Amino acid sequence: MANDISVIALSSHPALAGEICAHLGVKPAATEIIRFGNENILFQCQENVRESDVFVIQTSCPPLSDHIMELLIAIDALKHASARRITAVLPYFPYARSDKKDRPRISITARLMADLLETAGADRVLTMNLHSPQVAGFFRIPVDQLNATPIVCNELRSTSELGDSVLVASDVGEAKDLEDYANRLGAPIAIIDKRRPDDSENAKAVGLIGDVAGRNALLVDDEITSGGTMIAAAQFLLEQGAQRIEAAAVHPVLSGHAYERLADSPIERLVVTNTIPTPSGQRMEWISTVSVAKLFADAIYAIHSGESVSRLFV
Ligand code: R5P
């Protein structure tokens, strides 16, 4: 690895940042991050980054606003420390679901995030499975969006009997991603008609396009937040005659009592990635977590050396 690369591991996900650095064969740069009594954050890079190609790793997880401020402050500091190029590495993009004006006078915060990152001094963004790919278009700087589907599919292929399975999108929005899963796993598909009457966690499955009767259902979504969508979908699929329910999602937000709710649900197995840290003590054997660290490391190396990033998705 060339000497002019620096990796900054911010506070949100040191385990993933450490794994990425191990794959790259670099040490995270020494930094100091102080939170003062008045909640102000101080960031200092304790190594020279002048003319360096800098990658700042920060995922979206609680305390979210604090992590966003830390990211912006770090990018600003690195810019003023004369970094040659700064790439914000955001495994789970903050405010990814706030991406459209679907109600009057509503905030579109994914777009604001783009403005904030550019204003702070980011030159590029590297992220993974955006809730809607159009978010990349909110930026005027290059955005590389990695795809975790091949990694998740490898895990499903090696540990599940997929012969009699139907892939099921947990809502219509997920149908496009489902095509990628179906092409890789060679299974038929079905799509759930999900309704969310308000902003609460009360997702309802009200219809099904496709047939799951007598078959195993493999539910797919980009993220699981409260678990409400997956649980409602799983219960609905059983009512439609599915035999067994498994599930897969890229981003395990798993907020509030999601673990307990999912453990009590008909979902027998769940595959997720490590874009978001798992709270300690919450590991369960029916949840498999596959690592995306090598893919991020390969993408960082490709960006650094001017190689294609899209070739990594095959
Ligand atoms: C929404 O459209 C997303 O794809 C997921 O379905 C949603 O984030 C899941 O949220 P929850 O687990 O709270 O139902």
pTM of the model: 0.95
Active site residue 194: yes
Q: How far apart are CA 73 and CA 78, in angstroms?
A: 9
Asked whether the beta carbons of 229 and 235 are under 8 A apart, the reply is no
Asked whether the beta carbons of 145 and 130 are under 8 A apart, the reply is yes
Asked whether the beta carbons of 156 and 185 are under 8 A apart, the reply is yes
308's tokens: 């294609």
Ligand 1 atom 3, closest CA: 223
Instruction: Please indicate whether residue 224, judged by its CB atom, sits closer than 6 Å to ligand 1.
Output: yes
List, for residues 134-151, the tens digit of each pLDDT value: 999 999 999 999 999 999
| pLDDT for res 283 | 63
Looking at residue 282, the DSSP 8-state letter turns out to be: -
Q: Which of 101, 194, 204, 294 is catalytic?
A: 194
234's tokens: 């799983």
List, for residues 64-96, the tens digit of each pLDDT value: 999 999 999 999 999 999 999 999 999 999 999
List, for residues 1-29, the tens digit of each pLDDT value: 445 999 999 999 999 999 999 999 999 99
